[in-house]
Amino acid sequence: MRTGPIVSLILSVLVGIAAVVFGRGWLNNEAEAARPDIMTIAEPAAEVALTQIYVADAAINRGDQITSESLRLADWPTDYVPLGAVTDISNLTNADGTLPFSLGMIVPGEPVLLNKLSSQHTPDTLAQLIEPGYRAMSVEVDDATGVAGFILPDHHVDVHGFRELSSDFSRDPIQRGELVLSNIRVLAIDQSFEEGLDGARLARTVTLQVTTEQANRLGVAIQAGTIGLALRAAKDEADTPPAPTPIRQAAPAQTPKSTFTNIRVIAGDDEETVSAPVSPANANSGN
């Protein structure tokens, strides 16, 4: 039996195995070398400059006095520090040494701003919300005339009046609608005038900010019929159309008074003086 072919076959198998092992190792080395070094590619993060400002440590309600326990220092990016932020507690102290009062709701973590503070405690009343020269006047509304409860404080509305007029030619009444007031600010709904009311809230009374003249016009419209409110878009609040001219009913035509003259009637021997009407045209012409 020849051993040469067997030896050659065995050598071929060994050479093939060695080639496979060598090739796999070479490929793994190449892949490892081609893999990027993340540590060398990544750039170090830039440091952000921070400033310490005072924020609310707990919820501060409207009218609450600021205390040291209700504030805490917090790191804030220097480039984004709000205007009026407090960096020194001494800036909050009043001349008499007391701390100010909050003019609005401050949630925990919110920066305390000087324009949201007052040196004096002011009662939370509706009278403070009325601008100088204006008055507050309430109107009754329902789901339909009150825009289904979507009217909120500080919204602007148009006031429309609806009334029923009698007709001289028909027994059916005439329905008349007219614009009474335009671009009127809402002060409160029912007895609520808080900031931040969200969503629809059904109300029965809406309080409006009006001038004395507007109050008179609104009162007449309330007595004459039904009041409806039309909510204006936020972008339309600055657009104030001219005040509407009150609609007046034409006075009924007056029938001219008849003019009478004396006429002497002679019938035979009888003579009598009677009064007879004369048309205005003949009277003016002297006939």
How large is the greatest C-alpha to C-alpha distance in the chain, in angstroms?
190
Domain ranges (residues) in the chain: 17-123, 126-236, 258-287
Cβ atoms of 150 and 119 closer than 8 Å: no
Give the predicted TM-score (pTM) of the model: 0.42
How is residue 171 written in tokens? Answer: 């027994």
pLDDT tens sequence for the chain (287 residues): 566 677 677 777 777 777 777 777 777 777 666 665 555 555 666 788 999 999 999 998 877 888 888 999 999 999 999 988 999 888 888 878 888 888 778 899 999 998 888 776 655 567 777 888 999 998 888 766 666 667 888 889 999 988 877 655 666 677 788 899 999 998 888 755 555 555 555 667 888 999 999 999 999 998 888 888 888 887 775 555 444 444 444 445 555 555 666 777 676 677 777 666 665 555 454 44
Phi, psi of 131, deg, nearest 5: -75, 150
Torsion of CA 206, 209, 211, 214, to 10 degrees: -30
- Are 262 and 273 in contact by the 8 Å Cβ rule? The answer is yes
The residues pairing with 191 across neighbouring beta strands, listed in sequence order, are none
Residues 227-262 as b/e (b if ≥16 CB within 10 A, e otherwise) read bbbebbeeeeeeeeeeeeeeeeeeeeeeeeeeeeee
The count of other CB atoms within 10 Å of the CB of residue 121 is 13
229, 147 Cβ separation under 8 angstroms: yes
Domain 17-123, CATH number (from 3.40.50.300, 3.40.50.1580, 3.40.50.1820, 3.90.1210.10): 3.90.1210.10
Strands 117-118 and 101-102, bridge-based pairing: antiparallel
